[in-house]
Amino acid sequence: MTTRWKEEKAESPQTLKSNAFSFQSPKQNKMSPLPVPEDVALQIASFLQVPDLCSLASCSRLWRELCGSDCIWESLVRDRWPSLELSDGSSSSSAIKKPMSMGWRCFYMELHNEKAARATSVVQFVETCSSSVSLEVGEYQKAMQDLHALQFGYQDVQMFLFKPELTVLVNLLGLHYCINWLGVPANCVLKALESRKISERQVCVKWWKLGIWSHGFRMRDELLSRRFTLIDVGLAKQEEVLAVLYRGAIHEVLRVQICVADPSSPSWSCQSAHRRG
């Protein structure tokens, strides 16, 4: 697995905010020497994820100083948000500029907290729109576009959207975003779904298609319904459904709804239906 698509530990954003970014004071006050040369220690620290890096920093003062190195945290920022445009003074006006007085660790914390707050807004939007059981495709697409505009990275999706306590519609949104916008490899997506224990959660997508013309008469509109699990999406078994969600209600498709699946319903159904407004 490449660094870019590494799996984030299943810790809550609150835990990360309160513990993982804070370097605890070493238990021993004396300056214990590093067990390896400094360049080797720096290389070791650079392979760690944030929670493990901060745990290592609590071992001694030397480890604390080393684990707070700008070179490590700059790499963590760029790995977590590869599409983030950072200003170097000559970049576009939309680029994010890191204050000169702010270290990379503090900058990482600032970005993390900003993404957490914006993820909460997206989740609340989806939950509010789906309060009447289903989510219209236009609302789903808006939430997807918001994630893209916010430059969410793969680790953001894992931390904030792949949570079992959230509605499965939010899980699907994050999954679809990873596949279509971020291009995350299937094996990485599947591993993340399983580690978060959401792979078997079920979704139902319904779409109404305009009835075809036959012998001078227009047939009734068709109602198509597909029930599937999130792991089915990760295994590319639901490409037709993802295409419907991506395109939305255009051309022959009159309406698209996404809802939590009823386990008793069939996995696939097709029937005639009156046109709904």
pLDDT in tens for each of the 277 residues of the chain? Answer: 455 666 665 454 444 444 445 555 555 444 557 777 888 888 989 999 898 998 888 888 888 889 999 999 999 999 998 877 776 655 555 567 777 778 899 999 999 999 999 999 999 999 999 987 899 999 999 999 999 999 899 999 999 999 999 999 999 999 999 999 999 999 999 999 999 999 999 999 999 988 777 777 777 888 999 999 999 999 988 899 999 999 988 878 889 999 998 766 666 566 555 544 4
% residues pLDDT > 90 (the chain): 50
Q: Which residues contact 110 (CB under 8 A, 6 or more apart)?
A: 102
Flag whether 151 is in a domain: yes
Q: Which residues of 238-249 are buried (b: 16+ CB within 10 A; e: fewer)?
A: beebbebbeebb
Flag whether 118 is in a domain: no
- Residue 58: the pLDDT is 87
Max distance between CA atoms of the chain, in angstroms, equals 91
Flag whether 73 is in a domain: no
Flag whether 192 is in a domain: yes
Number of domain units in the chain? 1
| Helix, strand, coil content of the chain in percent (nearest 5) | 45, 15, 40
Flag whether 250 is in a domain: yes
Flag whether 197 is in a domain: yes
Angle between helices 104-129 and 137-149 (to 10 degrees): 170
State pTM to two decimals. Answer: 0.79
Flag whether 72 is in a domain: no
- Note down the domain range covering 217: 133-260
